[in-house]
Every structure is written in C-alpha cells, then in structure tokens.
A and B are shown apart, each in its own frame.
Chain A
Amino acid sequence: MRRELPRRWYLVRKLSRNNKQVSTELSVIPAESFVSSLDKGDSSTRSGDLTESSSDKEYSRRNFLRIFATAAGAAVAVGSGIEMLSYRAYAQSQPTTNDWSGGGMTGSGVATMASTLAPPTHQWAMVIDLRNCDGCKSCTAACQKAHYLTPEQTWIDVFSLTDSVGKTYHLPRPCMQCENPPCLHVCPVHATFRQDQGIVLVDQDRCIGCRMCMAACPYEARYFNWNSGVKYPPLPVQPTPEFPVPQRLGTVGKCTFCVGNLNHGMLSECAAACQMGVIYNGDLKTDVAVNGMGTTVKLSKFLYDNDAVTYKPEQNTHPRVWYILGHGQNLTTDIASKS
C-alpha cells in the first residue's frame, strides 16, 4: 500500500543564496530515472484520457501515478520546464502577489525569465473527506516521521470537534495552500512565497523568525522551530523549501503538501498513510484526485457531487484544500464557546 519508490532524495536544487544568481543543478539522482522506472509497462494512459472522461469511474492508483509522472517526465525532458528552474527565479518573475491562480511573488530581478518559461504543469490541491476520518492521526505520524518533526510540530493536525448534533468528528488540517495567503502578505522579507504550482513555501534560509505569519494564518498551520537540539540523521541533501529538512532553528515551518512527492508521481505522506482514504491529492490542471487507497476521481465532479466546502471562506484566503462534510458536520468555528 505504501510507496513503491525509495525515499525522496531525488530532486535537489542547489539554490544560490544570491537572489540574482540562479543555479539549477540537479544532483544525487536525476528525477528522470524515477520517472522512467515508473513508466515501465503500459504507458498508453495519457492525462487527456482522464480529463476528457466525463464518467466518475474510479481509476487505479497506478494509472493515476503514471499520469502524474508522465506530465512530470515531460517537463523534465523538455528541460525548460519549471521543475528545472529555481523556484526563486520563477517567483521573482511573477508580476503580482494577488495573482490567485498562478505564481506567487512580486519582485524585480529576472523579468525576462517569465517569457521563457513553460506554464506550470500542475496546480496541486487536496480533498479531505471528513465522512471517513476516524481520528487515528496516522497522517500526522507519517508527516512527522518523514520531516523529522518534533511531537508539537503537527504540520497536519487532527482536531476533534463537535458537529451540530453533538457528535464528535475529526478534522485533519494541513496548510490550506491559500491562493490569497495572509502569511505571504505579511512576511517582511519574502521568506514565504508561492511557487508556480500554487504551493506556499517557506525559505528557511531567509526567514527572520518574526512570526508575523503565525499571527496572520487563520488556520494555525505554521509551526516554529523554538528549540535547538532536534536530532536529525545524516542526510544526503541540503534543505530546500520543498523539503526543509533539517529545519533551521529560529525559523518557521509548515506543511509543504510534499510537493516533491507530487511532482514525482507519489502521494503526499499523509495521503499515503491514511488507511481510511480520507486524504486525496489532487491536481486542478488535470482535474484528478487520488487517495491512499488508490481511489481515483475526477476532481471537479467529486467536489461538486459531494458539496465540498473550503474552511473559513470568510477569511478570503481561497484555500486549495476542500472538505467533504458528513451529516451535521460543519466547519463553523465557535470561538465564543472556547473559554
């Protein structure tokens, strides 16, 4: 049930600390090798097959992975795809912080870069089906294991809440990867940025640790590195915003959607770990979503048919995470009763 692939030390971007100098070395193992290993066997499935299909028939997870992977492979093969470029250079080329559909950041710098870039291949999303969540916290445990987090750092946390008929239900809460992220707007040094696939990331080599973003996030999704002395095993790579391990003392960290996994045809750690199939990784571009049980759905139809909602829409954050509610469940936060 868990992944067929070894752990994820495949894509390492050596990023120059200097903002203007962009180096895009790939080291350790080139991503292509994984893509091709994944692509062995029947390669007839194309992303088009899926998106054009109007049925809500379920696809096998393997097929789905292949779709993800094919797209990723194409991008890697072309070589000018966004995966090959520094996130920062790309982010700097983006025109506005309020572009809710595309890239993230403002900034001067490499303005010409934009024209040479292929449009992003994926726009990642997540669906969380609350009807099936039993609150076992396997997702939290898997996330903490993969990112070497301390017990308090619950990048995906599972809250026990009460629904409108008085029963307890469970709410897994990752970072919402807001399309209008308050955490990004308040960051004084652009350490928080939004990459082209819609993932909000933190550059822990730039974060000054002011925690303004923790104050601004309406979902309490950010976790600080308060204490030194966290033990990490020897790791073959340097931390990147996509995979900030080891984390830097005095900076802030949060859920990354395991975007490195996603770009290489794997599910996020939490989705892969969920034995109830609650967490779906989705792609708005190819309009598919898949959970850890191998259930594959057409994303838009799945959301529509199940009356999916976003959390705290009144905050105007435009989350990339949708929730499917059961009977009586609601996401209204009753702050008044919290005393």
Chain B
Amino acid sequence: MANRADLSETNYGNSARERWSNDVRRAAMRPTIGPTSRSWRVSVILLGLVVLAGILAWLYQLKHGLGSAGYNDQAFWAVYIADVIAFIGVSYGGAVISAILRLTGQSWRAPLTRLAEGTALITVLIGAMFIFPHLGRPERFWEILVYVNTSSPLFWDFIAIGTYVLATIIFFYLPLIPDLASVNKMLGSADRPMRYRTYRALSLNWIGNERQRRLLHGVMSLIALIIVPLAVSVHSVLSWAFATTSRPGWNESVFPPYFVIAALYSGTALVIVVAAAFRKGYHLERFLTKRHFVRLGYIMAALGLVYAYLTLADLLPDGYTGITAGWISQTVTGRYAIAFWVYVIVGEVLPVALVAIKRTRNIAGMTVASASVVIALWVKRIVIVLPSATQPLIASHWGTYHFTWVSITITLAGVAAIPLGLMILFRFIPVMSIDEMEEVGELGSTEQVSEHTIVAQELLSVGAHINGNGNGNGAHVPHVPKKEA
C-alpha cells in the first residue's frame, strides 16, 4: 500500500493490475461521464414525480393542518416521527458499516463504501427533511436556535442531527477527493468546463503523492472513528425524545440501545438493497459479488438477533408485572398486533432464516432478506410510536391513527427520494471508490473465500482492533497486491 505509486510506475504496462484498474474506472465512471441511458431517464422522471406528489401533499397539509394527515389529540405523534427515525436510522447504518469496515481494515469493503456512504448521505438528508411535515408550524423552525431551551430533548435532537449531517457530508467527501481527480483526468477540461473546474476545486489539487495519501488516511481514520460514537449519540438522543416523557412504553431505559441497534439493523439492510439494485442497474456484477452480500447478510442477521433480544427486554418486564402493560397487550394481541407480528415474521424470522439456510445464502436471498428488514423495521417504528401515543392516561378510550392519502404520499415521496437522490448523486461522482478499489486490487475485493474463513477473519480483525493491535487500513489486507511480471 505504501509503495502503491511505485507499483503503478514500475509496472506500467499491461499487468493484471493495470487491467483491473482500467475495468474499475470504466465501470465506476460510465454512469458519471457517459451519456444517460433511457432507463435512467425514465426512472428519474418517475421517481421525481413521486417526490413532487409528496411535496404537493405537504403543501396541502400546510394549508389544511396536520389533521389531514390523520393526526388527532390521542395520536399526536405518528407516521412522520416514525419516518424521521427510520430514515435517519438507515443512514446511520450505512455510515457505521462503512466506518467499521474501514477501521477494521476489511479490504472487501472497497466496492461497497461509496454506495454505503452515499446511502447514508441521502437518507440522513431525507430524514432531516421529515421533521418539517412533522411540525405544525415548520416556518418557525428557526426558533429552536434562537429561543434555545437546553432542557428540551428536541433541542438536543436538533444539535445531534445537525452534527451528524455535517459529519456524514465530510465522511462522504473525504474518500471522494482522489476520485474527483480521477474523473477530471478522464473528463478533460474541454468537455464540460464548469464541471471540470468544480471537480478541480473539490479535489484540492490531489495528485496522489505519499504525503497527501498519508494525510487523507489519517483524516479518514479519524472521522471514521468519530462517526461511530456520533451516530450512537444521535440515535440515543432521538430515543430520549420518547424516553424522557412519562408515557408507559416510551419511558424505558432500554430505548437508546434499542434505537441504535434498530438503526444499524435497518441500515445494513438498506446497504444490501442499494448494493443489489446498483449491481444490476449499473452493471457492477463483477465487483459486487456473492461474497459481499453474504458478509453483509451475516452482519445484518447478527444485528437482527440483538434487536430481537432488545425487543424482548423492552416487553418482558412491563408485561410481567402488568403495572403499565396496556400498551403491551395492545401491541402483542390488540390493535397493533398485525404490525407487531409483521415485524416478528418479516423483520426477524424470515431474514435470519434466509441467512441461516445455506441454499438461500446467495445474492437473491440476501436481497429479499434485507428488503423485508427495511420494510418491517419501518413498521416496527410505527409500533414503537403509536401504542404509547394513543394509549389513554386517564380514561379507557384508546386513540386511533388512520393513514390518509397525505401521510402516505409524503412517506412514499421520502422512499422514492432515496433511489432518486442516489441516481442523481452517481451521475456526478463515481459509483465505486476507484481509489480504494485500485488500492486493494482485484484479489482483495472480489476473491471468493469460504464462509468459515470470512467469519474467522472478521472475528480476528475485530478482536485485533479491540486489543489495540490493529493499525488501521491495510493492516489486515490478507492479499497484498502481487507484483506481476
């Protein structure tokens, strides 16, 4: 790694490495500098229409009030706050997966990081946007910064989300620097001068020399290190908006880890979904192989089991004593039972089974598993929000929340904005991190290894990292690029 520059110089020619590099560049940049395909344009227009419909629905809601989205005094928090949690949650998953893979020096991450970080960036922006339909008076949002109340959980939510958005942007931007320089090399200054100038400015005169490389690696490791606790704090603070109230079902000490794990679980799942979609749509089959999906699937299943455990930890004590158990009986057997069991079956049993069974442990199986996790975890957020909100604190009359076309349209617009945002994003930047792909080489990123080896390697590298033996990127790259004649 250290003498990468030497390598490419001494082996200038038709080496395997050179061919690999060319392939990577072509695949990653085709959607960026090539002409747009017909299906790309059609998808963007369709998705754009859905987003537009959501914006119109929001304008309607502004005029007619939140009642048009199905809200009432006993369902005062409902779908939009669940959307906020779900979107910021998946973002968190993308960022942390990428950060942890970086920190533990997993070379196979190379084709995934850009997708994961891009997903993190797009979804955190969408999630932050969902605060606006949630508010009754979005135009007064600025007041949070002016009439600061430090004892309000929402103030800290704002600080946490704001910091996290910033960190996500930086985390996305840093590994982009070398790639922007690469794109510019291919683009040339004549073709699109505006774009060329922007990229040149953003790539900060990157020429890839030793000093720059060392600096970038240092900063990258630092921000990867920062983003993990930062993301934990964001979701903890988000959960405290619920847990600091006295409502049974929200006032739970398990909430911060509960939210954090839910975020990681759904976020890993979304990374798999996105990887599957872009693998097909952007022809990355050669780079994103079964190995990537299976490894991410393992991580996802492990997180899923932790989440199931936390769900049990949340339900059991209250249900056992029965003191504040109204929300539990409603969740497990009552009016929210369908949603709850959808989560159990589609969000836990099915995906874990698909990962556990050898026959389904392939790309299609992992895609189905992760898609069902993403959907079921959104349902689970609804199950976290609604039973406690609609439970009566004095009388015995439960509130009800009805989805309306307004809330459904706005939520669907958020969903459509993920692929739309990613497609537009990857129109301007390479869909894979060219620099990292070149760094780890073909073997490092695509080689098929037996699954036992994978698990062993992961455990070892995580263990080494915890023990302080891991020394960052490259330390655990099992296959040092070979010099070839």
Query: Does chain A have a CB within 8 A of B246?
Result: yes
| Least CB distance, B74 to chain A, in whole angstroms | 8
A219 to B74, CA, bound (A): 12
Query: Does chain B have a CB within 8 A of A39?
Result: no
Stretch touching chain B among A119-127, A138-146, A234-242, A329-337: A329-337
A335 to B71, CA, bound (A): 23
Q: Is there contact, CB below 8 Å, between B245 and A225?
A: no
Query: Does chain A have a CB within 8 A of B39?
Result: no
Taking a contact as CB atoms closer than 8 A, the residue among B143, B247, B330 that contacts A208 in the complex is B143
A37 to B423, CA, bound (A): 74
A339 to B67, CA, bound (A): 25
Taking a contact as CB atoms closer than 8 A, the residue among B67, B138, B147, B242 that contacts A206 in the complex is B147
A229 to B65, CA, bound (A): 9
A-B contact count (CB 8 A): 155
Q: Is there contact, CB below 8 Å, between A186 and B73?
A: no
Q: Is there contact, CB below 8 Å, between A208 and B73?
A: no
Taking a contact as CB atoms closer than 8 A, the residue among A171, A212, A248 that contacts B152 in the complex is A212
20 A-B pairs whose Cβ atoms sit less than 8 Å apart in the complex: A160-B395, A187-B152, A188-B155, A206-B140, A207-B137, A207-B140, A208-B143, A209-B135, A211-B76, A212-B153, A218-B246, A220-B393, A224-B136, A227-B65, A227-B68, A249-B65, A252-B136, A335-B325, A336-B323, A338-B398
Residues on B with C-beta less than 8 A from A276 are: none
Residues on B with C-beta less than 8 A from A182 are: 245-246
Query: Does chain B have a CB within 8 A of A47?
Result: no
For B73, the closest partner residue in chain A by CB is: A223
A182 to B74, CA, bound (A): 18
Query: Does chain B have a CB within 8 A of A296?
Result: no
Q: Which of B369-396 contact A (CB under 8 A)?
A: 389, 391-396
Residues on A with C-beta less than 8 A from B149 are: 187-190
Query: Does chain A have a CB within 8 A of B211?
Result: no
Taking a contact as CB atoms closer than 8 A, the residue among B134, B137, B138, B245 that contacts A216 in the complex is B245
Query: Does chain B have a CB within 8 A of A226?
Result: yes
A224 to B78, CA, bound (A): 14
| Least CB distance, A317 to chain B, in whole angstroms | 9
Query: Which 8 pairs, one residue from A and one from B, show the smallest C-beta to C-beta distance?
Result: A209-B136, A250-B136, A226-B67, A227-B67, A188-B154, A338-B326, A188-B152, A339-B329
Residues on B with C-beta less than 8 A from A97 are: 151
Interface flags for B121-159 (1: CB within 8 Å of A; 0: not) read: 000000000000011111011011011010111110010
Q: Is there contact, CB below 8 Å, between B65 and A335?
A: no
Query: Does chain B have a CB within 8 A of A52?
Result: no
Q: Is there contact, CB below 8 Å, between B394 and A215?
A: no
Query: Does chain B have a CB within 8 A of A42?
Result: no
Q: Which of A167-224 contact B (CB under 8 A)?
A: 171, 173, 182, 185-191, 206-212, 214-216, 218-220, 222-224
For A317, the closest partner residue in chain B by CB is: B246
Residues on B with C-beta less than 8 A from A185 are: 151-152
Most B C-beta atoms less than 10 A away, residue of A19, A187, A211, A215: A215
Residues on B with C-beta less than 8 A from A315 are: 246
Interface flags for B468-481 (1: CB within 8 Å of A; 0: not) read: 00000000000000
Residues on A with C-beta less than 8 A from B152 are: 185-188, 212
| Least CB distance, B75 to chain A, in whole angstroms | 10
| Least CB distance, A199 to chain B, in whole angstroms | 19
Residues on A with C-beta less than 8 A from B246 are: 182, 216, 218, 315
A97 to B149, CA, bound (A): 10
Query: Does chain A have a CB within 8 A of B188?
Result: no
| Least CB distance, B316 to chain A, in whole angstroms | 15
Q: Is there contact, CB below 8 Å, between B324 and A186?
A: no
A161 to B248, CA, bound (A): 20
Q: Is there contact, CB below 8 Å, between A336 and B153?
A: no
A229 to B63, CA, bound (A): 10
A178 to B77, CA, bound (A): 23
Query: Does chain A have a CB within 8 A of B422?
Result: no
Query: Does chain A have a CB within 8 A of B64?
Result: yes
A260 to B65, CA, bound (A): 29
Query: Does chain B have a CB within 8 A of A4?
Result: no
Query: Does chain A have a CB within 8 A of B72?
Result: yes
